[in-house]
């Protein structure tokens, strides 16, 4: 049997410190403006809970290339900050100086220190316990809301687009795009083999995708102008819904696999705690041969929690495992983390079935690359 750690390809909940690497390419003559913006930014970031240290580096070969590295006590603390509206506003002055950026996030697996460092106070946070094997697939989602009353029109537009070319380059390809709606909220989840950033840029350049984006523009609650780089950047920064955990069952089992997205109405301030609980439940399910959950990806930003699950049975046939509340007291724990006017008590099987129906998102389209 495959070890559980080998089946978890992505997780923000292993307790390890996080190293964040930001690669920047500046416009000509923007260095001094960039340095001034960075000085202001770093003084603000220093007071953010979980932040340990950061460094600003300049290339010794190309003076327009810069690197910012930062270290954080844990992934949840970093994600809470980077996904906040405060962060969006804080980094805005940098954008006028930067031609291109690339953000990379790593959990710390091993480290080597000299005697002087060991004698000093060690950083808070632990190390990643073991390397994640993974499947070479990067998972990411976008979410946004449309104006109430426009849901049917938006669903029709989103369902009717032509899929872009799956191949991005020699090493990157689009594997799957799953699009869901729940009320006026849209969630678009993508799976990419290779470089996520390259894939997203490839998709954004495709004429069929641009046509769909322009068609839904009048219906968005948050206005955007995709011809304005700053407006587009703000929109997609706020729309980002990061994957915080992914696990795949050891035994995939026979039969058709059905994909569902569940939108959990987290109580204010409880989104990360709820995501962590669901992640643990899915880890346990991955070790249970009787579980119908073949794979699970949890996306979370603030109190938006979406769990994408692949099931080998109809979703309503096993509400306990579909919702992630198997085991003693798990229903009560989840109920405390949810908005009570939506979740209710979750004390009976009927309560679970009704709640599952309420949070099961409508599948608009689910498209795979031919060889995915």
Q: Which CATH architecture has domain 17-108?
A: 2-Layer Sandwich (3.30)
What pLDDT is stored for residue 229 in this prediction?
79
Higher pLDDT, 71 or 93: 71
Residue 43: pLDDT band with limits 50, 70, 90:
confident
pTM for this entry: 0.90
Instruction: Specify whether the CB–CB gap between 141 and 188 falls below 8 A.
Output: yes
CATH classification of 137-242 is 2.60.40.1250, yes or no? Answer: no
Question: Phi, psi at residue 332, to the nearest 5°?
Answer: -65, -40
Q: What digits encode the pLDDT tens for the residues 295-310?
A: 999 999 999 999 999 9
Indicate whether 121 pLDDT > 70: no
What pLDDT is stored for residue 256 in this prediction?
82
Q: What digits encode the pLDDT tens for the residues 152-196?
A: 999 999 998 888 888 999 999 999 999 999 999 999 999 999 988
3-state secondary structure of 217: helix
Which span out of 28-32, 132-136, 324-328 was modeled with the highest average pLDDT? Answer: 28-32
Neighbours of 160 (CB within 10 A): 11
User: Would 17-108 and 244-361 be classified into the same CATH topology?
Assistant: yes
What distance in Å separates the CA atoms of residue 356 and residue 60, rounded to the nearest whole number?
A: 56
Q: What digits encode the pLDDT tens for the residues 185-236?
A: 999 999 999 988 888 888 888 888 889 999 999 999 998 888 887 888 888 8
CATH classification of 244-361 is 2.40.50, yes or no? Answer: no
Residue 343: pLDDT band with limits 50, 70, 90:
low
Indicate whether 4 pLDDT > 70: no
Q: Percent of the chain scored above 90 by pLDDT?
A: 58
The number of helices, as runs of H, and strands, as runs of E, in the chain is: 15, 13
According to DSSP, residue 120 is labeled S
Domain borders along the chain are: 17-108, 137-242, 244-361
- H or E stretch covering 285: helix 271-286
350, two tokens: 């009927």
């Amino acid at each position: 049997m495959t070890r559980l750690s080998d089946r978890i390809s992505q997780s923000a909940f292993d307790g390890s410190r996080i190293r964040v690497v930001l690669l920047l390419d500046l416009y000509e003559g923007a260095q001094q403006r960039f340095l001034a913006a960075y000085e202001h930014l770093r003084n603000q970031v220093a007071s953010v809970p979980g932040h340990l240290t950061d460094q600003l580096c300049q290339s010794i070969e190309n003076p327009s290339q810069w690197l910012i590295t930062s270290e954080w006590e844990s992934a949840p603390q970093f994600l809470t900050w980077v996904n906040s509206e405060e962060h969006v506003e804080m980094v805005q002055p940098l954008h006028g100086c930067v031609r291109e950026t690339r953000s990379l996030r790593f959990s710390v697996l091993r480290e080597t220190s000299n005697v002087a460092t060991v004698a000093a106070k060690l950083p808070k946070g632990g190390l990643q316990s073991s390397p994640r094997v993974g499947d070479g697939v990067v998972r990411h989602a976008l979410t946004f809301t449309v104006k109430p009353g426009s849901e049917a029109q938006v669903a029709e537009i989103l369902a009717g687009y032509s899929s872009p070319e799956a191949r991005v380059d020699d090493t990157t390809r689009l594997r799957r795009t799953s699009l869901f709606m729940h009320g006026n909220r849209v969630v678009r989840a993508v799976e990419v083999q290779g470089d996520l950033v390259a894939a997203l840029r490839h998709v954004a350049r495709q004429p069929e995708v641009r046509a769909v984006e322009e068609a839904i523009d009048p219906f968005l609650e948050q206005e955007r102008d995709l011809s304005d780089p700053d407006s587009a950047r703000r929109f997609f920064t706020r729309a980002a819904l990061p994957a915080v955990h992914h696990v795949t069952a050891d035994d995939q089992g026979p039969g058709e696999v059905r994909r569902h997205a569940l939108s959990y109405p987290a109580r204010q301030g409880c989104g990360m705690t709820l995501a962590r609980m669901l992640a643990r439940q899915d880890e346990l399910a991955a070790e249970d041969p009787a579980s119908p959950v073949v794979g699970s990806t949890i996306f979370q930003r603030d109190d938006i929690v979406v769990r994408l699950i692949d099931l080998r049975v109809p979703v309503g046939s096993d509400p306990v495992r579909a919702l992630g509340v198997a085991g003693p007291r798990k229903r009560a724990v989840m109920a405390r983390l949810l908005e009570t006017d939506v979740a209710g008590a979750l004390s009976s099987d009927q309560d679970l079935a009704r709640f599952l129906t309420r949070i099961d998102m409508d599948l608009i389209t689910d498209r795979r690359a031919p060889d995915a």
